[in-house]
Chain A
Amino acid sequence: MTPARIVCTIAGVTALLAVLVPRLWPDTPPPAPAPVQQTGAAAQPAARPWFAAPAAPASARADFVTAPAAPLYGRNGRAVDLHGLDVATYIARRNAAARTGDVRAAYDIYQATSLCAATADPLPDFAADADRVQAEAERARIQTLCAGVSAVQLQERMAFLVQAAQAGNRDARIDFFMEGPQGRPLTADAPADDPQLQAWKGQALGYLRQAGAQCDHFALSLLANAYDLGQLVPPDARMTMAYTIAAAAARHVTLSEQQLRTRFGDALTDADFAAAQQAGAQLARQDCPAAR
């Protein structure tokens, strides 16, 4: 039992007594209400060692708008270089190679086509009009680049992605998860018993584990998140912690017991915590032997 829980238990017992005592001795005055605690003064940072959100309102920020020639990003978040071509031409130049087993060409086609996969996604509410204007301009630029790409090609990108993943391309293995089932975002309300979804989950988990086994810290972190959220597997705090340890080890970072207790102490019993520590160490040894 943590000190906070002990305090809460005492408070609960006090509450019980506070109700019972006036019933037994009606003349006893009612307990005084607990004082409302106020927060302390605002922190006044002198410097921001990492990145930081701006202190000024969003509308005051114009640097993003004036940035030169923004790079293109696929749906997997990776930057794509079309070498000055439009997507249809880029695909056409690699199609034959990809279809005859050139894994690099297959992955390049996937990457380029993935640029076009999000052009119909709704834009969010923006905090600043300038951001919306910028996003709409970017959307228009990509729609122009994607003008000759057919719906069949969009769908086929996932087959090229699988081709690359099956051939051992680590990025492709991660991208398969990032793309979501059938190349659409994974939503919380998707029917859990959908066989296609189940198949995708199994395949995505397998690919992430394979990428993790190649000591890819990002894949290991995504696995930690997957166990945390229950995206591919039922939620499991022990596995979340184990993959968090392994992901850190892949970056040559050792998480202290205190750091782990801060994050996972409340969610795990002592026995589960110890088991997760052991599992994490084993994953790190197995996936990242050179990182030790």
Chain B
Amino acid sequence: MKKFALSFVALVVLTQGACAYASEQSTCTTTDKGTFLTGTVTTGPKFQAASQTIDGIKLSHTIIYMRADQDGRSYQVAMDNVYAVDYVQNSTSIPASLAALKAGTKVEVCGEKYSDGSGIHWVHSNCGATPKTTAPNGFIKQISSSGAIGANLERSEAYCYLWN
């Protein structure tokens, strides 16, 4: 009976987890017009200095690498620091919420793949604009060890004024 109960619980958890990912994938690809990947962070966050400045705001990035569950390939993930809810303007440091994505962390991302397929970016809110494949309503979420999916880490819209 104990074995039965355990197998039941495991099955329900697996079903709900798979269901949650399927739902997230559907939201990303259908509604948000992005490319969806899940996987494990292989190289933790590193700071990439801005190559562009708009209205005095330096558009720096945080870079991680992940191995995707979908195809086993390694992808660079470029996260715009200005979309992190705890971003400090022009700071040369990684926002704490993104710094938490250390090697071994499970993540799911929705964004636009690089044209050469080696990475993914635009994993952030698109400021309420109608999503397009070249400007998806992206996200990056941490997946806990229990399978719970966190909030989008790139959801701040405080700097949307730079573009619209």
Contacts and interface: CB of A to CB of B under 8 A. Distances in A.
Interface of A: 4, 7-8, 11-12, 14-16, 18-19, 23, 34, 37-40, 42-58, 61, 63-64, 71, 73, 76-79, 118, 121-128, 131, 134-135, 138, 178, 185, 187-188, 217-218, 221-222, 224-225, 228-229, 231, 244, 247-248, 251, 253, 255-256, 259, 262-263
Interface string B53-65: 0101111010100
A50 B46 CA distance: 23
Given A4-B26, A135-B92, 9 more contacts: A7-B19, A12-B15, A19-B11, A52-B122, A55-B119, A58-B63, A118-B91, A126-B49, A178-B89
14 contacts: A4-B27, A14-B15, A16-B12, A18-B11, A39-B71, A50-B163, A54-B78, A71-B56, A124-B93, A221-B158, A244-B157, A253-B164, A255-B128, A262-B137
Interface of B: 4, 7-8, 11-12, 15-16, 18-20, 22-23, 25-27, 29, 31, 34-37, 44-52, 54, 56-59, 61, 63, 70-71, 76, 78, 80, 85-86, 88-94, 96, 112-119, 121-122, 125, 128, 133-137, 155-161, 163-164
A122 B92 CA distance: 9
Nearest to A18: B11
Given A43-B35, A64-B51, A125-B45, A53 B96 contact: no
B16 A57 contact: no
A73 B93 CA distance: 14
